[in-house]
């Protein structure tokens, strides 16, 4: 029980620290790398919530594919390091305070709703192999979402290739 709590808080602090570094670092490639570490931390949190398959998939797809794309593209563009990480100005200051207030509201709501969440609870009746249950659910109850996702991925593929061939671009088809 204590191990669970320590593990959760350690993972959560790791995650929040790297998420904060993502937005506060002026060098874009550093930001992308911190985001990768955040994704890995997120996979760890999923694992602790007994969603082991999702943790593995999160690492394969997010940390191993999406973030590699980000880092690759950022390295292709020779972006200069920004002079400052945060912008200045009246409107931008207002937006910052507004979003900080909303975040504080979320945090307070989450904290109030989770009083007693780490107390001793009757052990949930969890099946032996949660991955198997997830798979069965995916192909029976959520079949429509699954098929729709396939078609959505096809649309993204066509769209990505089409965008790369916009008229006037370097790969435009004549």
Smallest distance, other proteins to C-beta of residue 63, A? 7
Location of structure tokens 């307070």: 108
Task: Please tell me the distance from the alpha carbon of residue 169 to that of residue 159, in angstroms, as a whole number.
Answer: 15
Give the residue with the Cβ less far from other proteins, 81 or 92.
81
48: which residues sit within 8 A by CB, 6+ positions away? Answer: 4, 7, 8, 11
Nearer to other proteins, 19 or 51 (CB): 51
DSSP secondary structure letter of residue 85? S
Residue 172 lies near other proteins (rule: CB under 8 A)? no
Which of 15, 31, 34, 44 touches other proteins (CB under 8 A)? 44
User: Please, what is the minimum distance in Å from the beta carbon of residue 31 to other proteins?
Assistant: 13
Beta-strand (E) ranges in 96-138? none
| Spatial separation of the C-alpha atoms in residues 4 and 10, rounded to whole Å | 10
Contact pattern for other proteins over residues 110 through 149, marking x by CB under 8 A = -------------------xxxx-xxx-xx---x--xx-x
The contact mask relative to other proteins for 142-161 (x = CB under 8 A, - = no) is -x--xx-xxx-xx-xxx-xx
Nearest to 43 by CA among 32, 28, 54, 35: 54
Write down how long the chain is: 174
Q: What is the C-alpha separation between 61 and 39, in angstroms, rounded?
A: 10
Q: Is residue 55 near other proteins by the rule CB under 8 A?
A: yes
Which positions touch other proteins (CB under 8 A)? 3-4, 7, 29, 33, 36, 43-44, 47-48, 52-53, 55-57, 59-61, 63-66, 68-69, 71-73, 75-78, 129-132, 134-136, 138-139, 143, 146-147, 149-151, 153-154, 156-158, 160-161, 164, 170-171
């Amino acid at each position: 029980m204590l191990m669970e709590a320590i593990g959760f808080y350690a993972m959560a602090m790791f995650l929040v620290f790297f998420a904060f570094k993502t937005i506060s670092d002026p060098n874009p490639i550093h930001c992308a790398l911190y985001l990768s570490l955040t994704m890995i931390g997120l996979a760890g949190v999923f694992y602790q919530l007994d969603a082991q398959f999702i943790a593995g998939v999160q690492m394969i797809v997010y940390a191993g594919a999406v973030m590699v794309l980000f880092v690759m593209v950022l390295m292709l563009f020779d972006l200069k390091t920004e002079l400052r990480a945060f912008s200045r100005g009246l409107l931008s200051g207002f937006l910052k305070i507004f979003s900080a207030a909303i975040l504080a509201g979320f945090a307070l709501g989450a904290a109030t709703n989770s009083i007693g969440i780490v107390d001793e609870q009757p052990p949930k009746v969890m099946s032996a192999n949660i991955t198997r249950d997830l798979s069965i659910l995916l192909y029976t109850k959520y079949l429509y979402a699954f098929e729709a996702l396939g078609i959505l991925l096809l649309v993204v593929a066509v769209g990505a290739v089409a965008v790369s061939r916009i008229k006037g671009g370097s790969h435009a088809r004549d």
